[in-house]
Amino acid sequence: MFRFRLQRVLELRARMERDAATALAAAEEQAEAAREEQERLQAARQVLAHHALANPASAASELTGGEESPAGDLSVGALRTLQFLLGRLDERVNAAASAAASAEDEVTQKQDALRAAFRDRRAIDRLKERAQESWRATETAADRQLMDEIALSRFTQAGAQKPGAAGPTTESTES
């Protein structure tokens, strides 16, 4: 009965460990996706900022959909549009960074859960090994005891069957 329960607990712990490993893999994938999104948004912001700084007049016309000013300088509307777009990208980058940090925290929690599940399963494995060793030692001792009893029984029987051996006598003594 004990062995059955121990085996059942061991199976449950192994399943918990597999589930924890699966959850960790899913969390790692989510964290990777969040990091990639953050990097993509940062790259888009850098491209927009670089393009606006390198070619301010063409960037302004692309952003506002209007023509360049005759003097070649930027209008206030174009600058505001550029500022708004960079601000929105900054917000999205910050949100993506927050999501990535949250995903990393989730990965850390899942790693801790996997370590705990592994430790629990390993403890049950050691308990099972100890129980098996104890059972083997008990069985070996019982076998030795039985073999000793058989050997002792044969030795006493062999001694009784030898001629001249001391054993129970049926001689009667006369007085």
CA dihedral sign of residues 63, 69, 74, 79: negative
**Number of domains observed in the structure of the chain:** 1
For residue 100, tell me if it sits in a domain: yes
For residue 29, tell me if it sits in a domain: yes
Q: What separation in angstroms does the CA of 171 have from each of 30, 101, 162, 174?
A: 98, 101, 17, 10
pLDDT value at position 171? Answer: 52
The phi and psi torsions of 169 (rounded to 5 degrees) equal -105, 155
DSSP category for residue 171? P
Band (137; pLDDT cuts 50, 70, 90): very high
For residue 117, tell me if it sits in a domain: yes
Range of the domain at 118: 2-139
Band (73; pLDDT cuts 50, 70, 90): low
pLDDT value at position 83? Answer: 85
Cα 126 to Cα 105: distance, rounded to the nearest angstrom: 31
For residue 135, tell me if it sits in a domain: yes
Convert the pLDDT of each residue in 75-103 to its tens digit. Answer: 777 778 888 888 998 999 999 999 999 99
For residue 23, tell me if it sits in a domain: yes
pTM over 0.75: no
CATH number at residue 96: 1.10.287
